């Protein structure tokens, strides 16, 4: 960082950072967010990535297969599934698949 900014600018930024309170530091690092556009729970709460992962998991794909298909790591697929489980209040892939199939069936 010092090499990029130069000695004087680096020193000034360091001193400015040290002078910030914890509250100001957190506010600077974490930009203010507007209101959520999605609800906290239910199908509408899922992000587009979570929806994709849920759909593939409901088809029986493993985390590794999901990762390969979506060009993400299996760990990222696992994280998306964990978030979807919490948002949909399910505990495993079987519950998720049942819920997804009921959700995706056309109305009678």
- Identify which has the larger pLDDT, 25 or 51: 51
Tens of pLDDT, residue by residue over 28-66, are 677 656 556 778 888 999 998 999 999 999 999 999 999
- To the question of pTM greater than 0.75 for the whole model, the response is no
Dihedral angle of Cα 62, 68, 70, 72, to the nearest 10 degrees = 100
Whether 87 and 70 share a structural domain:
yes
- pLDDT of 34 reads 57
Mean pLDDT of the chain: 85
- pLDDT of 92 reads 94
Whether 57 and 94 share a structural domain:
yes
Distance CA 81, CA 94 (A): 12
Count Cα neighbours of 35 within 13 Å in the Cβ-side half-sphere.
2
| Domain residue limits at 6 | 1-34
Whether 5 and 25 share a structural domain:
yes
CATH of residue 94's domain is: 1.10.10.10
Domain count for the chain, please give it.
2
Distance CA 85, CA 95 (A): 9
Whether 53 and 74 share a structural domain:
yes
Whether 72 and 51 share a structural domain:
yes
Spatial contact of 53 and 11, defined as CB atoms under 8 Å apart: no
């Amino acid at each position: 960082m010092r090499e990029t900014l130069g000695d004087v600018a680096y020193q000034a930024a360091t001193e400015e950072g040290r002078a910030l309170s914890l509250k100001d530091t957190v506010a600077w690092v974490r930009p203010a967010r507007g209101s959520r556009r999605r609800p906290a729970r239910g199908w509408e709460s899922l992000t587009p990535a979570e929806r994709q992962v849920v759909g593939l998991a409901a088809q029986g794909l493993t985390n590794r297969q999901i990762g390969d298909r979506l060009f993400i790591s299996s760990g990222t697929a696992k994280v998306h599934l964990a978030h979807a489980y919490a948002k949909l209040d399910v505990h495993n892939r079987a519950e998720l698949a049942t819920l997804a199939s009921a959700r995706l069936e056309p109305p009678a």
